[in-house]
Structures are given as structure tokens and as C-alpha cells.
Structure 1
Amino acid sequence: MTHGKLTVARNLSPVAAATAFALASLVAAPVMAEEVAAKKESKIEAITVTATKRSQVIYEVPIAMSAFSGDDLAAQGIADITDVGKFVPNLNITGFSAGHNSSANPFIRGIGLQDHLITTDPGVSVYVDGVYLGRQVGQNWNLANIERIEVLRGPQGTLYGRNSIGGAINIITKQPGQEAVAKMSAEVGTRGRLKGSIFTNQAVSDDLAFNFNLGFNRRGGLGEFINLPNAEYDVGENQEFHGRFSLKYNASDDLRIVFTADANDGEGGTRPYTTLIDEMPNGRLYQNGLRNTDVAADPYDNATGTLATSKVSNKANGLSLTADYDINEDLGAKFIFSKRSSEYMAGLDDDGTKLALDHYPERGTADQTSVELQFTGYLGNVDFVTGLYWFNEEGSNRQRSDEASFNGGPTKLELDQETTSKAVFVNVGYDATDDLRLSGGVRYTEDEKSASTNVFDPVGTVYSQREWDDVSWEVASNYTFENGLNWYATVQTGYQSGQYPARPYFLIGQYFSVGGPDNPEAAAIVRANNAFMASENISAINYETGFKGQLTNDFSMSVALFNTEYDDLPYQVNVVTDSGFDTNNLIVEQTSRGIEFESTYMVTDNFTVHSSLGYMDVDVEEQNGVKPVAPLTPELTAAISPSYAFELSNSALLTTRVDVSYRDSMYGEPSYDPRRMTQIDSRTTVNFDISYAPINADWTVSLYGRNVFDERYDDARLNTGDYILLIKSNDASEFGVRYSATF
């Protein structure tokens, strides 16, 4: 991965700072090219990525992106995808969906997923081996058998389609090959850490090979359910089994087929959270006599008396088939088919007390099928990627009235949705000269959603159906200087289809407003009013320029300046009314602008420093006298990772590494709060890794520490109008030993 270190003048506006830096870079680039024209062979290995659905060296891709190789993930203290968010500029990954402890919600440049229900789509898309994951709860986030992870920042609507207006995360696993390899790793640490995995790659014949990995991961909790002695798990405890099998068959010299199956099964305790009651003296809980003393004194304990909100679970499984066919030396075709299913159980007891007031046990399911057909080719100086895409998802969320309650009375949520998306796309590149490349693309998408909800039995089930379409496009150019430094400029757009309300409890209020239950026609009137309506498309356009490449044989860097404009962006504002917990969509315009810098510097052959820094300013238009703020979006992100390798007297190698990550303060939800009660403090986390590898040996032993100073921080803060809900991070200090061997 490439990282960087950059000082941003705080007394300059974001636009002025970005302009000054861009001008300085334009002036400096030719000078640097002359100074290092005769540079030596590079000491830094450039990662090859597939961000544009074609293989390219990372410096040649005309977008801002970061890449992690699979071999470096463990050394950097990255245990799951949430940890990736600690080391990429302007990326923040949280996990608080319904109190689940294995969800992941990425926010890139101020765009992400604020709710997990089936009617809401993510703003950052996640792909595994080219397969889009429609849901981000219940999936397998274990980073086993990983070739690399790519983080693409900015709208990716042309090649990645809908729901990538913030960016995209590509997870690429290792493909089966002819080399016979067997690996195992084991990890034992504090907080009850027990982790193990096995991996093997074997060739059955010259044309048939497979790989297989199986793993188990357990981590203990951070607190107890003080009023539930029969709780199965502690607060924040989790354990999971996961496995993946891939089979590759070379049917001929031109045709390669890969079949993959994966599954995971996890359980645990609800992630840590607490409720602030005294801070809202006009709130319903305070008026009913509850106080902060009624919740657990330790925020990592939990005082709920509802057993159903103490446990979470997640299951997922998937099948995929990929076929690559070389039509001739210049033309190729690729076919990707996938079916995935996921389910989860979670929920929160919002009042945080032993009383059965506000608790919401929840279950969710999702089944998706996707098909993609790609054609790639080279025609002289022109190369292209074009294709067709089809996606279908059916999902549901359930909160049963005999389990869930609001203000002590029963409440329910039945939410179902089916989504069908179809698209056609083309992206073309033209090498105008040996140094100048021009590229562009366009994508047409049609979406159809049918949804239904029942939040109140007297109203019954309300149905709705809606269609959308959109054209996404991009144009880009990049120029390579004599020293290998690449300059690029890109204008790209993105698209997210409209969405239905996540929690439409306003239907209850409408029922009573038209005379229910005295009016026997009240339910029919509510259903006929089309009250359950979807929002319009969300669109984004991004203007970006930057430099990336190796300035010398021991220093590589990338810098990006961007300005992204979003239209019809729904902000999900949570409100508690007499009818229940309501989620309202506020449609706004938003502008995100900033700068990102990453670098790798080999100070000596043994001493390397990776660093990154991102600065961003987000402006959201004022609506109805309220000026929202971008949620879960720090203004400043930074990381630095020095590593040093010692060669011992016995020729063994001792490698030491420290990873420091900083995330600035941010707001936990979009509603602007003058009292800053939803503001999350800044945080700094530190990891270390010390690995010992004997010469010519096939094993390595490591001492590791994650969040070594035990920085405790909030994942989110929600002002419900009645109380402040604090969702705590499940991150905590951990120290242990890791052993890995290759056979």
C-alpha cells in the first residue's frame, strides 16, 4: 500500500489549499523528472490492481485508490475489514447496525450507509472477486485467503454501477494454481482471542487445481449483561467459523473456469452501547422517572432485562462461477454468475435499563443473484471493457410485536423488498502517445423496486413499486513523465437509486389523522394515499486531479485533489414521535472537497515508512432552517507505519513494525446538534508487530499488539429526541502471539 505525510495549512480554505498544492505539484513535476531521469531500479514493488476491470499498475489508474496485499494485512494489525478504515485517507469504517458486532459500514469522503434495513442501499459498494455484496450485515468479513484489497475513492458509477457514489472496496481472493502449497496460522491473545486457519492449494492435474481455507475466530467480551445471568454471551463477545473452496479448470488453452463456494456462521453478544437519559430532561425516559443511574454504570456492561436483545448472529453462504475465454490474442470474454444468501439476528434495548420499554429484537434476510458478461479487447492503440449486468435481491426485516416494544407497548416492523437492476456499460482507453492516455466510459442502468411494509395491524400491509433509470459517465486522462510519475485528471459520475423509508411509523399517525379507528375506511385511505413512497435518484459528479508514481527508486507517492457534488442525497434523521421511532429522509445537496496523500519511503534497505493523510471539508445545504452535518466523517485522517528489519547473528530476520492511526472528531448522525451531544471525540490507535523468521525456515512467529493503549471510542451517537444513544466501539487493547507456517 502507498501512504503519505502532508501538512495542511489550517488557515487556508480547502479550495485555496488544494489549488496551492496543485500549482506547486505542476511546477515541481518537470523539475523532479529531470533530477531523477537516470534513477536506479526501483526498490519498491508496485502493486498490480484490477480497479478498471483490466490489470494495471496502481500508478496508471486515473483515480484515487489504495491497495493492500494479503501478505501485509496481518503485519499491519488488520484483523477485519473494519481495521482497513484506520489506514486509508478519508475512509472511516464503523460497525453498529442493530447492535451487531460483525457488521461493517464504510464511509468514504462523507458518503456511507446510515441504516442497515433492506430498503436502504449503501453508498460504498463492496465486491468479492467481482461479485457485488448487496447487504453489509451477515456477510463474511474475515480476511482469509486474500490476494489484495483495493479501496477506490470517489464515484465509480461507470464500471461498478449503482450504490458506489462514495467509492468501492474490492476484495480479491487467491486463485487456484499449479503450485502445491499448504499454510496454517494460529493466534492466541488477551481478551480471549483464539484464531486459527488452514489453507491449501493443490494441483489435481495440469488443467485442474483447487484451493481451500477453513478458519475459526473467537474474541471475548468487554462487559456483562448484569441483569441477565442466563445470557449466552458477554457484551461484545463473538465467535465465527468460515470457509471457502475454489476449483479452477483450464478447459482449453483459451478457456478457464473457476467455481467458488463460501460460508460463515457466527454468534456473539450485542456490541457495547449505553443510553444517556439525564442529558435530555424533557425526554420521555426522563419524564417517566428513569435516570442515568438506571443504566449500567460501566458503559461496556449492559443493564437490559430483555434476553432477546443480548445475542446476535450472522450466517451467509454463496456460490459463484467465473469463466474467462480468450477469443483471440486481442479479444476476451468474461462471465460471472453468483448466488448469495445471508441472515442475521440482532437488536437493541434502547432504554438500556431492566424495564421493558424500548427494545427492538430484529431479524433480517437477503437473497441475491447476479450475472455479468464482459468483453475486453485491444484494437491498436485502443483498449476497451464493455458488458451487461443483471442483479436481483429479495430481503426482509422483522421486529415482532410480541418481542419488540415502544414505551412499554408492543410495536412491530415488517419490511420486504425486491430489487432488480439491469445495466450495460462500456469503457474505452486510447494511448494518444507513449506518455499520454485518454479514457472514458458510460453506463446505463434501470432499477425496479417493489416493497411492502406493515407497522400497524389496523392499517395492514402497504405496497409500492417504483422504477428508476440513470446514465453514468466518466472522462479521464493521464500523462507519464520521464521519471515515471503519473499525472491524471478525471471527471466521473455516480448513481444510487431511490429508496423507500426504513421505518415508516408515520403510517400510524396518518391512520389516526383520517379518523381511525372510528372511521372504518381509515386503513383503506392510508393505503390509497401512496404514503409509502420512495425518494428520487441520488446523483454525484466528481472532479479530481492528482499525481502518483515513484519519484525515486526508494520513494513512491500519490496525491489527489477532489471536489464532489451530490444531488438529492437523503439524510436519514431519526425522530421519536408519539407513534414510535421514525426515520425521516431529508433530501439535500452536498459538496465534499479535499486532499489525500499517501507515500512509501525506503529510508534504508531495512527501514521503511508508510504514511497517509486526508483532509476533507463537507458542506450540506440548509433545509427547513436546519443545516445538517455529514455523519461519521472526520475532517482529518492520518496514519504512519514505520517498519525495520534486523538481520540477527544467526541470519534470522527480526521485523518490527508500528502502525499509528488518527481519526479526527466527527458527528455520529447528520442532525446538527448545537450542544454537540452527538459529536464523537477524535481518536488515535496504535498497533505493533514483531516477527521472527529463521533463515531458510518455513515458519514465522510474531508478537502483536492491537490498540495497545486501549483507546476506547464511540462508533456512533444518535439523538432520538428522548435520549442519546451511544454505540461504543468493540475495539480494545489486545496482545498475543501469532504463528504461521508454510509447507
Structure 2
Amino acid sequence: MTNKRRLITAAIASTSLLSTNFIYAQEEKLLEEITVTATKREQSIYEVPIAISAFDGDKLAEQGIIDIVDIGKFVPNLNITQFSAGHNSSSNPFIRGIGLQDHLITTDPGISVYVDGVYLGRQVGQNWNLTNIERVEVLRGPQGTLYGRNSIGGAINIITKDPGSDPGAKVSIEAGSRDRLNGDFYADVALSETLAFSVTGGFKKRGGIGDFTNVPNASFDVGENEEVFSRIAFKYEPSDSFRLVIAADANDGEGGLRPYDTLIDEIPTGSLFQAGFRNSDQAPNPFDNATAQVDQTVVTNEASGISITADWDWSETLASKIVASQRESEYQAGLDDDSLEANFLAFPEQGDADQTSIEFQLNGDLGSWDFVSGLYYYEEEGSNSQVNTFFNGDGPGTFFIGQEVESYAVFANVGFDLTEQFRLAVGVRYTEDEKDAETDVGIGLFTNSAEFDEVSWDISATYTFDNGNSIYGAIQNGYQSGQFPARPFCLFGDANCFFASDNITAINYEVGIKGEWIPGLQMSAAFFYTEYEDLPYQVSTTTGQGFATTNLVVEQTSVGFEWESTLRVTDYLLLQSSLGLIEVDVDEQDGVQPEAPLTPEVTLSIGPEFHWTLESGAGITARIDYSYRDEMFGEPSNDPGRFTQIDSRELINANISYQSPDDKWSLSLYGRNITDERYDNARLNTGDYVLRILSNDPSEFGLRFSTTF
């Protein structure tokens, strides 16, 4: 029996054991239930008929989590990488085999990211900081009813702290190896009985992992990163029935191109090999970079936004809400694909995106009935341009792609309590999307437009036992509008190739159990089966004219199991664990068997946490977190040489903290990736060479000091 089959067998056996013994669970709950807003209303995490993971914002640092990418190390069947345009601020989440490998404006992510109800449309340039936040929620499976388009794989919610909820101030500083220096502050101040504000800000600095060997005066090292960020929010609450929150945020980062190298010898028929280049012409250390193109060594990102959230309680049974936002972001990045001193393959890039969104909700709680309903509008305009590009030594050339999107939706989700324990819920959403795209690959401007519409729906049933534990079954539907090709160099041979793919749809069948079935064991388990239709895989190849990315449209089926638990072993020891198992089947395309990209079959994490209280009243907490991601493929295309296969990886973080007796300050010793595991983020086989994007995550050790006042 293989290790994967043993894991599956153990998972099924554990779930069966719990389901057959739930009647013995006691009324006493030894662990605190978590409240989430996954269904756009506050609920116990046990009550939500969705596979969901939740992270307490104040405890993220103890797990070694400093950004959204780190969240992907601890959630079952979630994998988050960074590689878009060689940028350090990008994030590419994949949930249950669904995500996005690209970042250009005509490609939409399959996983939606929200901050306080505001959708973030772009992956690059909006490096949202997880400092001083309330909670992170990861919803797995299609979320097409409440979260709409671009959530066919799931959604990630970031919830910030509410002004006035935790008066006081906090300052933290962190210093460690690799020139790590972080500092941040948070203040929550009540100006009057009706007005409060909160402000957070800080900076992050991390040194590089390699040198630009042919640019001695480079502004940054490979992988180096510096960022400043801030957020301010005002809350006006003149009565119990009305609340207004106005928030603004901004971040500004710059650094060195992320580490990568180019495998040349593996493709002897490729243009680099035929031109006489070899792997040995690159820097001997793959974390160094031998480019001589100065404009390819620096990456930057800026983003800012403002949001307005207004809540009205019209009566004890009826409420409304408005969430309006405007955001803008821009970045500079790109890759010198050859990683050589020669200017043979170079794609410097700039991108920008502006978005406006507004959502109106009308919600009610009518006793045995409740509902969440609303109207939604989203508009985005953005572009990506490449100037002074070189392809196979020819240049300088140019490339441009732009897109405008308008999206409209109306949605409703209605729940009905058939009994005190049995609940049914039904949701539906209608969406219309309009896209206007344009591109110039060096032979003139091409334009095209497309309109899409779709009805998304879901239905769920939840049975909650007297002790609060629950079992659920759900059928979820998701939708994503079609996409124009990202790099349509196919226009050289086909003037009609610049068109959008069809609507992308998903339907998910899921059953799960949640709760504290055994005193001291808080757990959730889910089995799922998901079908995707007209799913576009982004496939990149080199042509005689440029680096082309086209859509390979496939049918995909995913089946799997997920487990999360917190076990109170003793009064001093907690053990958190997660396990994800997935099998993805993709229909054959023209004799080629594609592989689901960036989707490990096994994801696993284990985190023991020890607590001691000293006689003085001070506390000591020690935690070790182990994360495993199975081998996977870096891109969807079939690769006979298996050059795009990524090896499995094991990461270990450690943290030990001392909390003062008066809870006013703490001092922590941390280690991230303490075994210095070096791993690949992605691999792309263009047919001419293999681009290997390396992790920017070497071992790091340091101290963190926090004080409140």
C-alpha cells in the first residue's frame, strides 16, 4: 500500500469512528468556538455548511505567518506561490486544483480575495499586509452565490479590526537573520461615545538571497524586499441602529527580482541551446542571477484604496448594508528569461489597475427564516506593457494588453429552520459581465469585446446537535467569465485568435462534519466532488515572434478529503493538524493529457503548542509548525521530460514567547523554515527552455518584541 493510500485509509477510518461515536460527545466544550462571517453574517464556524479555515490575527506570528502566502502552508488543499512577473508582491492561490498561473490584466483569478468585503481584482501590486488584523478565513469550494465571479475554487477573506473594539495601542519590532527588520504599530482610540478611529502602519525589510553577478551596482540583491504600509479607519456610531466606517490603506514596496534560473541543456532543440548557450553560462549558484539588464533587477509595487461601509438596522428583523470602494495599484517587474549576460530573452514589464465596486445588501432574520440579498457592481480598467523587449536576440520590441470590465449581479440566500436542529438554505445569483480588450504584439492594435451572463446557485442542509456539533451536505455552483488570451502572439498566424473563452462553471458536491465531538477535540472533515467545465489553463510557449500564452480549455474533475483539528492533549499542550487529499482528472486534449498545475495530491500540517504559567504569573508559549506539500506540476501542459515536475517540500517553523505577568509586553524567539528547505515555486516549459522559479524563503531566525499601552 502506498503512503498516499495509507493516508486516505486513515482519514476515512478516523471520520467513520467519529461519526459512529458522536452520541457519546459530552455537553462540555473545552475549546472556544470561532465566529466567522463566511456567509456574510456572523455564525459559529460549526454552523457554516462550507469547508472553512479560520486564523486569529493575533496568533499569526506564532505560526510564522507574515503574509497571505504563508497561510497557504497550513490549510488543506491550499497552495499559494509567488512567481508572477518575477515579483515579490504577487500571490497565486490554488484551492482544490483551481487557481491562476498568470497575472496579466485579461486573466482573472479563480480564487477571490476580499478585505472587509472589498474584492481585490489583481494579484500583483496589492501585497496586503496581515499585521494587526482580526481574522483570515479561507473558504474552499465554489462560492458563486455570495462571492460571485472568480470564486470557482474558493475565497479568502481578510477581516481587519473594528475601530473601538480594542482601545489601546501596540508596538512591535522584529529583527533577525537575512537583514530582517520589521516594525509596526496599532492604535485604537475612542474620541467620543459615538466616534472612534484606529490606525496601523509599519515597514518590512528583508535582505536578498543572491547577487546580480553582472550588475555590480544593482540597487537591490536578488529577492531583497522593502515595504511601508498604513491603514486608518474611522467609525461613527450615533445609535444602536446605524454605523458608518470609512477606511483608507496604502502600501509602497520595492526590491530585487525574485530568484529563478533557466534550464537550457534540458531542451537541446530550443533557441537558447541552438544559439550556443548552456546552463554553465549562468551563475553557478541558482539563487544568483547573471543578467546584465539593469532594468530587470528591480521590482516595485504600489497600491491604495478607500472604502465606505454603512450598516442600518431598520428593525429587529431587517437590516441593510452598503460597501463601496475604489482601489488602484501599479507595479514594475519582468523577467530576463535567459538569466544570462547576453540580451537574448528580456521582458521588462509595467502594469496598473483601477477598480471601483459597490455592494448593497438587504438582510433579515424573521425567526425561522433568514436571508441575505443584494446588488453588486464592479468596474476595472487596467493594462500591462512591455517596452524594450528582446526575443531570441531580436529587439527592442514592444507588447501591450489592456482590458475594461463591467460586472453586475443580483443575489439572494435564504435559510429556513425546519426544526430547531435542521436547517435548509438556498442561494442564487445572476451575473452579467462585459469585457473590452485590446492588444498590440508589434503588428498594430487589435480589439475585441465579449459579454457573459450566468446563474449561480447553491443548496445546503445542516443538522446541528444539542451540543452544537453539526453535519452538513451542500451543492455549490460557481461561475467565472471567459478570458482573452494573455499574450496573443498567435495573431501573427491567425488574425482571429484574439477572442475570449466561454463561461467557466463549477459544481461541487460536499458532505462534512464539524464540532467538538470528543471533549477536547475540535475538528472538521469534508468529502468533496467537483466538476469544472470550460476551464482555461494558461499555456505558455515560444513562437517565432514572441513569448505566447494561450488558453487550453479543459473539463476537470476533482475529488478529495479535508481534515482540520485542534486537540487539547493536556492543560499545557494543544495539537493542531490539517490534512488534504485530492485527485484531479483532466480530459485529454488533442492526444495530450494535461496535468492540473500547482496542485499537490497531499497537503499536511502539524502544530503542537505548549503553554506554561510561571509562579510570577508570566506565561511561556512554545510552538512548532510542520508543513508538507506533495510533488506537483508547475504548469498544465503534458511534459514528457517531466521538466515541470516540482518536488515535494517540508517546512518547519518554530516560536517560543515570554508574556509578562501584566500582559503588557512579550518577547519571542522565532525560526522560519529552520531546516533551510530550498524549493521551487513554479516551472514552465516553453518548448525552448524551462523557466524554474525558485522560492524566496530560506531559513530565518530572529527576535520579536511587542508591547501594549
TM-score of the two chains, using structure 1 as the length reference: 0.93
Tell me, yes or no, if structure 1 residue 376 matches structure 2 residue 366.
Answer: no
1:643 alignment partner, SS class: strand
Q: For 1:734, give the aligned amino acid.
A: E
For the 8 Å contact 2:112–2:155, the answer to whether it is kept is yes
Distance (whole Å) between structure 1 residues aligned to residue 382 and residue 390 of structure 2: 20
1:409 alignment partner, SS class: strand
1:251 alignment partner, SS class: strand
Given candidates 12, 15, 23, the residue that maps to 1:21 is: 12
Q: CA deviation at 1:255?
A: 1.0
Q: CA deviation at 1:10?
A: 4.0
Distance (whole Å) between structure 2 residues aligned to residue 531 and residue 569 of structure 1: 18
Q: For 1:31, give the aligned amino acid.
A: N
Equivalences for residues 274-289 of structure 1 within 5 A:
274-289=261-276
Equivalences for residues 73-222 of structure 1 within 5 A:
73-177=60-164, 179-222=166-209
2:62 alignment partner, SS class: coil
Distance (whole Å) between structure 1 residues aligned to residue 6 and residue 623 of structure 2: 34
- Who is 1:487 aligned against? 471
Structure 2: segments with no counterpart, 5+ residues: none
For the 8 Å contact 1:316–1:340, the answer to whether it is kept is yes
Distance (whole Å) between structure 2 residues aligned to residue 406 and residue 283 of structure 1: 10
Q: For 1:452, give the aligned amino acid.
A: E
Given candidates 396, 411, 428, the residue that maps to 1:410 is: 396
Distance (whole Å) between structure 2 residues aligned to residue 324 and residue 647 of structure 1: 42
Q: For 2:319, give the aligned amino acid.
A: G
- Who is 1:450 aligned against? 436
Residues 8/647 of structure 1: CA separation in 2 closer, same or farther (3 Å cut): farther
Given candidates 223, 226, 243, the residue that maps to 2:230 is: 243
Residues 640/25 of structure 1: CA separation in 2 closer, same or farther (3 Å cut): closer
- Who is 1:65 aligned against? 52
Tell me, yes or no, if structure 1 residue 676 matches structure 2 residue 665.
Answer: no
Tell me, yes or no, if structure 1 residue 36 matches structure 2 residue 25.
Answer: yes
Distance (whole Å) between structure 1 residues aligned to residue 672 and residue 430 of structure 2: 44
Distance (whole Å) between structure 2 residues aligned to residue 452 and residue 323 of structure 1: 37
Q: CA deviation at 1:230?
A: 1.9
For the 8 Å contact 2:66–2:131, the answer to whether it is kept is no
Cα deviation 1:518-559 (Å, max 9, x = unaligned):
xxxxxxxx4xxx431111010000000010111133111100
Equivalences for residues 268-667 of structure 1 within 5 A:
268-400=255-387, 402-456=388-442, 459-510=443-494, 526=495, 530-667=496-633
Q: CA deviation at 1:647?
A: 2.3
Distance (whole Å) between structure 2 residues aligned to residue 12 and residue 647 of structure 1: 39
1:158 alignment partner, SS class: coil
Q: For 2:336, give the aligned amino acid.
A: D
Distance (whole Å) between structure 1 residues aligned to residue 601 and residue 165 of structure 2: 47
For the 8 Å contact 1:178–1:202, the answer to whether it is kept is no
2:145 alignment partner, SS class: helix
- Who is 1:518 aligned against? none
1:411 alignment partner, SS class: strand
Cα deviation 1:586-632 (Å, max 9, x = unaligned):
11100011000010000111110000000000000000010000000
Distance (whole Å) between structure 1 residues aligned to residue 272 and residue 194 of structure 2: 67
Q: For 1:211, give the aligned amino acid.
A: S
Q: CA deviation at 1:676?
A: 1.3
Q: CA deviation at 1:653?
A: 1.1
- Who is 1:714 aligned against? 680
Q: For 1:32, give the aligned amino acid.
A: F
Distance (whole Å) between structure 2 residues aligned to residue 261 and residue 127 of structure 1: 15
Residues 178/132 of structure 1: CA separation in 2 closer, same or farther (3 Å cut): closer
Residues 565/712 of structure 1: CA separation in 2 closer, same or farther (3 Å cut): same
Q: CA deviation at 1:178?
A: 6.0
Q: For 2:237, give the aligned amino acid.
A: N
Tell me, yes or no, if structure 1 residue 53 matches structure 2 residue 43.
Answer: no
Cα deviation 1:453-509 (Å, max 9, x = unaligned):
0111xx311111110000000000011234432100000000000000100111123
Distance (whole Å) between structure 1 residues aligned to residue 253 and residue 476 of structure 2: 39
For the 8 Å contact 1:509–1:579, the answer to whether it is kept is no
- Who is 1:523 aligned against? none
Given candidates 692, 699, 705, the residue that maps to 1:733 is: 699
Distance (whole Å) between structure 1 residues aligned to residue 275 and residue 264 of structure 2: 11
TM-score of the two chains, using structure 2 as the length reference: 0.98
Cα deviation 1:211-260 (Å, max 9, x = unaligned):
00011000000000000012100000000000000000013331100000
1:244 alignment partner, SS class: strand
For the 8 Å contact 1:484–1:551, the answer to whether it is kept is no
Q: CA deviation at 1:51?
A: 0.2
Distance (whole Å) between structure 1 residues aligned to residue 178 and residue 637 of structure 2: 36
Distance (whole Å) between structure 2 residues aligned to residue 462 and residue 389 of structure 1: 31
Q: CA deviation at 1:312?
A: 0.2
Q: For 1:476, give the aligned amino acid.
A: S
Distance (whole Å) between structure 2 residues aligned to residue 79 and residue 101 of structure 1: 14
For the 8 Å contact 1:109–1:616, the answer to whether it is kept is yes
Structure 1: segments with no counterpart, 5+ residues: 1-6, 511-525
Q: CA deviation at 1:697?
A: 3.8
1:115 alignment partner, SS class: coil
Given candidates 213, 232, 248, the residue that maps to 1:261 is: 248
Cα deviation 1:405-446 (Å, max 9, x = unaligned):
443333321111000000000000111111111101000000
Q: For 1:579, give the aligned amino acid.
A: Q
Distance (whole Å) between structure 2 residues aligned to residue 180 and residue 440 of structure 1: 39
Matched residues, percent identical? 59
Residues 265/437 of structure 1: CA separation in 2 closer, same or farther (3 Å cut): same
Cα deviation 1:348-369 (Å, max 9, x = unaligned):
0001100001000000000000
Tell me, yes or no, if structure 1 residue 693 matches structure 2 residue 682.
Answer: no
For the 8 Å contact 2:25–2:516, the answer to whether it is kept is no
Q: For 1:498, give the aligned amino acid.
A: G
Q: For 2:487, give the aligned amino acid.
A: R
Distance (whole Å) between structure 2 residues aligned to residue 179 and residue 483 of structure 1: 31
Distance (whole Å) between structure 2 residues aligned to residue 102 and residue 10 of structure 1: 33
For the 8 Å contact 1:178–1:203, the answer to whether it is kept is no
1:651 alignment partner, SS class: coil
Residues 220/621 of structure 1: CA separation in 2 closer, same or farther (3 Å cut): same
For the 8 Å contact 1:450–1:465, the answer to whether it is kept is yes
1:285 alignment partner, SS class: helix
- Who is 1:516 aligned against? none
For the 8 Å contact 1:558–1:598, the answer to whether it is kept is yes
Distance (whole Å) between structure 2 residues aligned to residue 670 and residue 253 of structure 1: 53
